[in-house]
Structure 1
Amino acid sequence: MSKKTIYIAGLGLIGGSLALGIKRDHPDYEILGYNRSDYSRNIALERGIVDRATGDFKEFAPLADVIILAVPIKQTMAYLKELADLDLKDNVIITDAGSTKREIVEAAERYLTGKNVQFVGSHPMAGSHKSGAIAADVTLFENAYYIFTPTSLTKETTIPELKDILSGLKSRYVEIDAAEHDRVTSQISHFPHLLASGLMEQAADYAQAHEMTNHFAAGGFRDMTRIAESEPGMWASILMTNGPAVLDRIEDFKKRLDHVADLIKAEDESAIWEFFDNGRKKRKEMEIHKKGGVESAFDIFVDVPDREDVILSIMELLRGTSLVNIRINEENREDIHGILQITFKNEKDRKHARTVIEANTDYHVVIA
């Protein structure tokens, strides 16, 4: 494919990581970037994430073969309206990176129909607690779903061309209707974030009368509420653009809680057991640790002794390896080993980690 000019509006974690991924497989492509703040633009230029950057959204749009809007949802829709009034290249591909799709697709079809452009909605399903161009990571989207939501402005060649441009992301591409995307993500993403924040609010209020609540909040509570630390502006925007689907999930969950409450009131131990057993079975059946039927998270579990330098020594062995996450699954005590869980991006790194840890320590390493 001939050399292209790619314009990415929004040089935060997502936009910056997209740029790095495109450059990995297409080093000859020119990457142009827009960001409102000087700080992120300067970092993107210093790190070589983009070749040129601007603080004026309209400046680079007419130069682009592909325009990627990696900005908040409402801003994405505003920029689609602005693009409709610009003198863009014929047949330019326009896409986005929003977490909800229906309203963005409707905006694109409203503003861009009749223009000589292509549009397809996109949702790269990866993220981090970090933000900004400084956090951009070429491996961010590896093995993650990259969802396309076709529109009336999507041509037969649009998605294949984007897949080629984005090949350096090493993602798994899926096509789905925009409305169905929003229904599915309301269940597995949007409602869980709402629930996590609700649990934190409930626990914080409860701790005012029961102060040990804060001290005992670990294990399952920690795991269930981790996502409550997510950026609030993004999630407010998501709920505002996917309200009906999320409200449906809230009402459904209320009924399920009421059912469990009735079982407790009736002291129906057998039915309560069935409730928990069903949840356990369903979780095992759901491909939570897989994407497209292929492993997408690569974990090792290391039994480690209670020594203050043990994690540091393991990290030294793994220097140069790309880690996704690290955590202790049990609090260390003198009489037991802790379980160190390390997550990698790919099987190659996991295999290397197991080899070097077993070769240099006497720790027991398990791959689950």
Structure 2
Amino acid sequence: MEKKRVYIAGLGLIGASLALGIRRDHPEVEILGYNRSEESRRIALERGMVDRATADFAAWAPLADVIILAVPIQQTIDFIRELAGLDLKENVLISDAGSTKAEIVAAAEDFLQARPVRFVGAHPMAGSHKTGAASADVNIFENAYYIFTPSSLTKPGTTEELQDLLSGLHARFIEIDAAEHDRVTSQVSHFPHILASSLMEQAAAYSQEHALTQSFAAGGFRDMTRIAESEPGMWTSILLTNPEPILERLEDFKEHLDRVADALRSKDQDRIWNFFEEGRRVRKQMEIHKRAGVDSFYDIFINVPDEEDAILGILELLRGTSVVNIRINEENREDINGILQITFKNREDLEKSAKIVRENTDYQVFLDE
């Protein structure tokens, strides 16, 4: 029996990580890869992510039983148009990994409607500041949402087949309408990136007259603006393919800011207190703190003294544990203790690490529940 062939177009962080996930649960599948960059093709081949790799997208598409387009949004649409003119296998399953869905689904329904293919839009809600096949991680999707946005070309059993193929990702699969996906992500993903970059732009201008702005930018400011370091080309494409929901969120946010400004001008203590209390209450209720939230990470916070080797000592205790990120909060502190924040991908590593630190040090340890 002929091997099932999966063709992944785009061997960057997402595409290469998808290949690793497929490989984990389905080693019998032949994985073909496309990428313009020779370096990513070489890495993907050397590390066994793919069996064969090409720089010619059209050449291998007719060989595939499943095609996953893990390329930028506009290139995804261009590839869908190109697929419509190729001699594809009958009933081939085509999907993508774009961050906006309505325009991609519309393109598929337009260009592929007359072809004997299946199409389901998809958005794996995971990522990293790292890029390229060299950064691929089989665990990057663990507990994260993998969203399917069905189309008129999504036949019965299509999403189930794709879920089975992607079972090695250990993701949380969910189906929603493409337009609703774009509305929701405009609030929780797209608008926050605009806000983060706006804060950085404002701070840069402000620091021209107030130089200490850059020195004091720690804690909350750092956490709120971390995503401003994201790749600008990708976010330009996201905004331009989801303008209406994002513009609506911008107008709504202006109204929220105006209400806070009015309360401050009138020195209305109760309104100001209620503003912060409502924000605190809503955040505690959101999935941010729960398994399968958008980021699906688990954090431990350790009060550490500002002493030589204190942090190194903790990391030595946790040797062998998979750590997603490490940061030192309150770098401009005046007190003796700072906060070491360590991020883990799963709760098992979080709880094990907290136990180790508590048993071997007298530091205070807190978990982000």
TM-score greater than 0.5 by the shorter chain: yes
Matched, 1:227 2:227: yes
Letter in 2 for 1:56: D
- Hey, what does 1:53 align to over in structure 2? 53
- Hey, what does 2:361 align to over in structure 1? 361
Q: Secondary structure at the match of 1:86?
A: coil
- Hey, what does 2:267 align to over in structure 1? 267
Which aligned pairs between 1:279-358 and structure 2 lie closer than 5 A? 279-291=279-291, 296-331=296-331, 336-358=336-358
Matched, 1:196 2:215: no
Q: 1:205 to 1:332 in 2, by over 3 A?
A: closer
Q: Secondary structure at the match of 2:288?
A: coil
Letter in 1 for 2:10: G
- Hey, what does 2:133 align to over in structure 1? 133
Q: Tell me how far 1:12 sits from its aligned partner.
A: 0.3
Give the Cα–Cα distance (whole angstroms) in 2 for the partners of residues 293 and 323 of structure 1.
Answer: 18
Q: Tell me how far 1:63 sits from its aligned partner.
A: 1.0
Give the Cα–Cα distance (whole angstroms) in 2 for the partners of residues 294 and 182 of structure 1.
Answer: 15
Overall identity of the aligned pairs, in %? 69
Q: Tell me how far 1:247 sits from its aligned partner.
A: 0.4
Give the Cα–Cα distance (whole angstroms) in 1 for the partners of residues 43 and 203 of structure 2.
Answer: 39
C-alpha contact (below 8 Å) 2:8/2:31 kept by paired residues: yes
Which aligned pairs between 1:1-368 and structure 2 lie closer than 5 A? 3-291=3-291, 296-331=296-331, 336-368=336-368
Q: Tell me how far 1:149 sits from its aligned partner.
A: 0.2
Q: Tell me how far 1:89 sits from its aligned partner.
A: 1.1
Give the Cα–Cα distance (whole angstroms) in 1 for the partners of residues 62 and 336 of structure 2.
Answer: 63
Between stretches 109-118 and 337-346, larger displacement belongs to 337-346
Give the Cα–Cα distance (whole angstroms) in 2 for the partners of residues 294 and 68 of structure 1.
Answer: 22
Between stretches 336-345 and 12-21, larger displacement belongs to 336-345
Give the Cα–Cα distance (whole angstroms) in 2 for the partners of residues 265 and 22 of structure 1.
Answer: 57
Give the Cα–Cα distance (whole angstroms) in 1 for the partners of residues 108 and 72 of structure 2.
Answer: 15
Q: Tell me how far 1:274 sits from its aligned partner.
A: 1.4
C-alpha contact (below 8 Å) 2:6/2:29 kept by paired residues: yes
C-alpha contact (below 8 Å) 2:145/2:172 kept by paired residues: yes
Letter in 2 for 1:231: E
C-alpha contact (below 8 Å) 1:143/1:172 kept by paired residues: yes
C-alpha contact (below 8 Å) 1:145/1:291 kept by paired residues: no
Give the Cα–Cα distance (whole angstroms) in 2 for the partners of residues 230 and 332 of structure 1.
Answer: 25
Structure 2 unaligned blocks of 5 or more: none
Letter in 2 for 1:175: E
Q: Tell me how far 1:3 sits from its aligned partner.
A: 4.2
Between stretches 334-343 and 214-223, larger displacement belongs to 334-343
Letter in 1 for 2:261: A
* 1:96-145 Cα deviation digits (max 9, x unpaired): 00000000000000000121111000000001010011100001000100
Give the Cα–Cα distance (whole angstroms) in 2 for the partners of residues 27 and 66 of structure 1.
Answer: 15
Give the Cα–Cα distance (whole angstroms) in 2 for the partners of residues 216 and 243 of structure 1.
Answer: 34
Give the Cα–Cα distance (whole angstroms) in 2 for the partners of residues 358 and 239 of structure 1.
Answer: 45
Letter in 2 for 1:11: L
Q: 1:2 to 1:289 in 2, by over 3 A?
A: farther
* 1:221-248 Cα deviation digits (max 9, x unpaired): 1111111010000000000000011000
Give the Cα–Cα distance (whole angstroms) in 2 for the partners of residues 142 and 275 of structure 1.
Answer: 35
Q: Tell me how far 1:36 sits from its aligned partner.
A: 0.4
Give the Cα–Cα distance (whole angstroms) in 2 for the partners of residues 75 and 293 of structure 1.
Answer: 29
C-alpha contact (below 8 Å) 1:5/1:65 kept by paired residues: yes
Between stretches 290-299 and 216-225, larger displacement belongs to 290-299
Q: 1:239 to 1:360 in 2, by over 3 A?
A: same
Give the Cα–Cα distance (whole angstroms) in 1 for the partners of residues 87 and 215 of structure 2.
Answer: 60
Letter in 1 for 2:121: G
Q: Secondary structure at the match of 2:287?
A: coil
Give the Cα–Cα distance (whole angstroms) in 2 for the partners of residues 80 and 67 of structure 1.
Answer: 10
Give the Cα–Cα distance (whole angstroms) in 2 for the partners of residues 143 and 42 of structure 1.
Answer: 29
Give the Cα–Cα distance (whole angstroms) in 1 for the partners of residues 51 and 313 of structure 2.
Answer: 39
Give the Cα–Cα distance (whole angstroms) in 2 for the partners of residues 38 and 280 of structure 1.
Answer: 48
C-alpha contact (below 8 Å) 2:216/2:332 kept by paired residues: no
Moved over 6 A (4+): none
Q: Tell me how far 1:360 sits from its aligned partner.
A: 3.8
C-alpha contact (below 8 Å) 1:332/1:338 kept by paired residues: no
Letter in 2 for 1:33: G
Between stretches 124-133 and 209-218, larger displacement belongs to 209-218
C-alpha contact (below 8 Å) 2:143/2:292 kept by paired residues: no
Q: Tell me how far 1:39 sits from its aligned partner.
A: 1.1
Between stretches 52-61 and 340-349, larger displacement belongs to 340-349
